[in-house]
Amino acid sequence: MACGVVTGAINSLPAPPAAVADSTVLDEQGALAAELAYKAARVAVETSVDAGLIKGATAAKIAKLDQRAFTALGVVRKAYAAGNATSYASALVAARAAISDLLTLTGKTGA
């Protein structure tokens, strides 16, 4: 009986520090990738606007998509800061989708 209790306790030990550190680095890389993707999308949008490729109704659609992507990135930052793995993972998925939508519409303008 005592062996069963000890075995159960060993199986419930927290992950070693190296495993936690590796996970933290991956989380940071995910957040960094989202930040850089958004910045790239913003540069594409701004360049297209400056070149006169985006205007009128398309500019209005892109402005809404840009706001959605920016807001999604803010959710990623907050989830990362809170250390909530579930909300962080779903926030990354939402941010990636919003940034992809922004880039897709920007690409359709010829930019």
**Domain range list for the chain:** 26-108
**Confidence band for 13, pLDDT divided at 50, 70 and 90:** low
Query: For the chain, what's the residue count?
Result: 111
Residues 53-92 pLDDT 10s: 999 999 999 999 999 999 999 999 999 888 888 889 999 9
Residue 22, pLDDT above cutoff 50: no
